[in-house]
Amino acid sequence: MSTELRSQVFLSFNAKDTGNNFADHLYEALVGAGFVTLRSCGDENEGGKEIKLKLQKGIKESGVSVIVFSNDYVCSSWCLDELVMILDCKRMARRAVLPIFYHVDPSDVRKQKGRIGEAFDRHENQGGNQSENEGNSRVRKWKEALKEVADLGGMVLQNQADGHVSKFIQKILKVVENKLSRPVLYICPHLIGIERRVEKIDSWLEDGSTDVDTLVICGIGGIGKTTMAKYVYNLNFSKFDGSSFLSNIRENSTHRKGLVTLQRQFLSDICKRKKKAMFSVDEGMTEMRDAVRCKRILLVLDDVDNRDQLDALLGMKDLLYPGSKVIVTTRNKRLLRPFDVHKIYEFEALNRDESVELLSWHAFGQVCPIKGFEMCSEQVAIHCGGLPLALEVLGATLAGRNIDIWKSTIQKLETIPNHQILRKLTISYESLEDDHDKNLFLHLACFFIGKDRDLAVAILNRCNFYTVIGIENLIDRNFIKVGKSNMLIMHQMIRDMGRDIVRQESPVEPGKRSRLWRSKDSFNVLIQNRATQTIQGIILDMDMLKESDIVSSSFSANDFKKHKTKNFLNYSNPQRVQFKQKRFDFFPWHLSDTKEATNELVLETDVFANMQKLRLLQFDHVELQGSFDVFPKRLRWLRWSELQLECMPIDFPLETLVVIELHRSSLRKIWHGVKFLKYLKIFDLSHSHELLRTPDFSGLPNLEKLILRYCTSLIELHETI
C-alpha cells in the first residue's frame, strides 16, 4: 500500500462482504476517474499495528471518506473502529463523509436492527474482545457512530439509478467530485469546547424544516463567532444543493464595489460558474434572486454590521428554496428586525478549564501548563475572561518566556492591555452609532460595572445622557449585560478596552484624562495638584493602594524629616517607611498638625478647585479638610464610604446630586436645617451605626429611595418620610 501520494478518497468497507464485487468496482472507478484512493483492508485479521497507523494517517489526509455499508460491515470490529476514526476527523471540520448503503436500510444502521442488530448482539456478548469496561465503552462508541453516520443521509442503492450498480457508481463519482472540488474552510487548530457549543446549531440545521430559517450568531469581537460559523459550514455544506460562505463582510464592504464583489462570489459558489461582471448592487441582487429559486442552499454571512450589507446579500431571502438555511455572524444582535423570522445564538465564553487548555496550547504546545507555570497560567486565563482571541494572543506572546516575564506581563495587563487584543475589540467601539453611545459606554466601563441599572440610569440621565436607549444599544452590541439582580455586567476585556481608550487621552498625564477610575492615578493627580477641568469622574479608594504607592508618589526623605510625625519609622530611608496600621484611612495632600498622633493622611479640598466638570465622585476611606466653597458645584453622584464626620459640612455642594451613598459613615446627624435638593432620588446611609436622627426631608420632593439599613442607633425618623 503506497502512501507517497496524498490520498483524496478513503474507501471503507468489509472485504469479506463486498471486497470482490461492489467495493472493488467502486475502487477501480475512483482510481480510473483520477482520484488518489486509499482503501481499507476491511479485516482485523490482516490489520497489524503498522497497517492501522497508515490507515489512520490516510483517513486524516483524505478529502472525503466513502463508507460502504453492507449487512456484514458491522460484523467487523476493524470496520467499526475505522468508522469511529472517520467521524473523529469529520468533527475536526477537515473532512467530508459519504455513506453508501449497499442493500442496507439506513434506518437499520441508525437503530441497529435486523442483521446489523444481530451482529451487535454478538459484539456485546464478546465485550468487543476487551475487558468488560473497555468492551462496553467500545461497543457504545460504535453504536453512537452508526447513528451519527446514518443521520448524514448518504446514498442508497435501492433508491437511486433503479438499483443498477454501474449507474449508482457513476453517481457516487459525481458526488465525490463535487465534495473534492469544494475546498474546506481552514480553521485554526485547538478548537477547545466547540463540540458542545455546536450541538444546538447542528440540530437546527438538521431539523427537517421546509421553512427558510435564519440564525444570528452574536457576541463580542474575538469570542469565536467566525470560527464557529466555519466549523458548522464545514460539517454541513455538503448536505445542501449549494452553499456559500461570504467572509469579512464588514471589512470587504468598505472597499470600492465591495458588496458587488461579495455578490459575485455568492453567484460563483451557487451556480459554479466564472464570476460574472456586474456593475451595481441592484444588478447583483437581481442575479442572486434568479440563482436561488430551485436550490436548497446554505449561506453564511460573516461579520455583518449594518442593514445595507444584509439588504445587498440577503435581499433574495423571500425567494430561497424551502429548507434553505442562513447563518449571520455579527456583534449587533438587533441587526435583523423583530419581524424577520430568525433565531439568536449568543456565543458563550470559554470556562476556566477550557481557557487554561487553549492558553497552554499556544504558550507551551501541550494541553496543560508546564510545571511551575500553573499559577501564572490561571491568572492569565482569568484576566482573559474566556475570550479565545485574548488567550491565543497572550499565549503566543508568552511562549518560551521565563516565569519572571510572565509575572511582569500579568502586572502590566492590570494597567495596559495588550495592543493586539485592543485593536480587535476597538472595532466594536468604533461601530457604535454616535459619540453619545461611545461616551455612555466609557462612563459605564469606568464607574458603573457591578452597579444597579436603575441607579446608573438615574445618575446618567442628569449627566445629559439618554441612558435607557443608550444602554439598550450597548446591550444589542454585546458591550454590556444586565444580570438577574438588575446589575450591569461587562466582559473584563471589553471593560479594559474602554478604560484604555480613556487612558490614551493622556498616557503620561492622568490629570488630563476625562475619567480617573484607578486609585493610584487619582492619588498621583491629587497629591501633585495636577487635576484639570477635563475630569468628569474620579474614584479614590485608599484601601486599593499599596504602601509603596503612597511613599513613592508623595514624599521625599526630607518631607518625612520635616513633619517628624510619630506614625513613620526609619525616616532616613523612605522606601522602607511603614505605617502602624495595615489599612490607610486618608489621602494626603499634607500631614495635618492636628493629626500628628495618628496615621491619618488628610486631603485639602482646594485640590478639587480645577475640577468644575466633575459629575461622579467616589470616595472610600478619604478625609477632606478645608473650605468646600471651591468644591465642584455640579456633582450628580457622591459615594463616600467611611465618612469620618459627625455631620455633613454646611458648605458642601449637595444641591445638584441625584444619588448620595454614605455607607458606613460616622454621621450622628446628616445635616443642619432644611436642605432643598430637588434632584435627589436615592439616599443610602446603610451601616451608619452612629446615626441618631434624620433631618427634615421636606426639601427633597423627588426622593424615591431612603435606605437606612443597619442604622442601629437611629432613634428619631422625621415624620415627613
Domain count, the chain: 3
Please indicate, yes or no, whether residues 107 and 230 belong to a single structural domain of this protein.
no
Position 576 in a domain:
no
Q: Which of 182-196, 223-237, 384-398 has the lowest mean pLDDT?
A: 182-196
pLDDT at 335: 87
- Say yes or no: 171 and 206 in one domain: no
State how far Cα 546 lies from the chain centre.
32
Residues in Cβ contact with 202 at an 8 Å cutoff, skipping those fewer than 6 apart: 232, 235, 236
The yes-or-no answer on residue 118 being catalytic is: no
Give the whole-angstrom CA distance, residue 625 versus residue 131. 80
Position 670 pLDDT exceeds 60: yes
Q: What pLDDT shows up at residue 330? A: 94
Q: pLDDT band for 165, please (50, 70, 90 cuts).
A: confident
pLDDT of residue 427 exceeding 50: yes
| pLDDT band per the 50, 70, 90 thresholds, residue 669 | very high
Q: What is the CATH number of the domain that holds 58?
A: 3.40.50.10140
Establish if 569 belongs to a structural domain: no
Question: Do 411 and 386 share a domain, yes or no?
Answer: yes
> Which of 203-212, 531-540, 624-633, 690-699 has the highest average model confidence (pLDDT)?
531-540
Give just the sign of the alpha carbon dihedral 480, 484, 487, 489: negative
Residue 480, pLDDT > 60, answer yes
Whose cell is 468644591? That residue is 631
304's CB contacts (< 8 A; 6+ apart) are 249, 250, 310, 313, 328, 329, 330, 335
User: Residue 258, Cα to own-chain centre: how many angstroms?
Assistant: 28
- Dig out the grid coordinates for 280 from the structure: 451595481
Residue 79 C-alpha cell reads as 470496520
Residue 421 DSSP SS3: helix
Supply the pLDDT for residue 469.
96
Q: Is pLDDT at 558 greater than 80 in this prediction?
A: no
Cα 315 from Cα 569, distance rounded (Å)? 76
pLDDT score recorded for residue 199: 83
Integer Cα distance of 115 and 585 in angstroms: 81
254 shares a domain with 158: no
Burial 559-572 (b: 16+ CB within 10 A, else e): ebeebebebbeebe
- Is 393 a member of any domain? yes
- Looking at the fold, whether 217 and 363 belong to one and the same domain comes out as no
Domain end call among 286, 317, 346: 346
Q: Does 44 or 173 have the greater pLDDT score? A: 173
Cβ atoms < 10 Å from Cβ of 188: 10
Domain range for 225 is 194-346
Residue with cell 441497529: 112
Q: Per the residue annotation, which of 4, 44, 46, 82 is the catalytic one?
A: 82
In a shared domain, residues 337 and 361: no
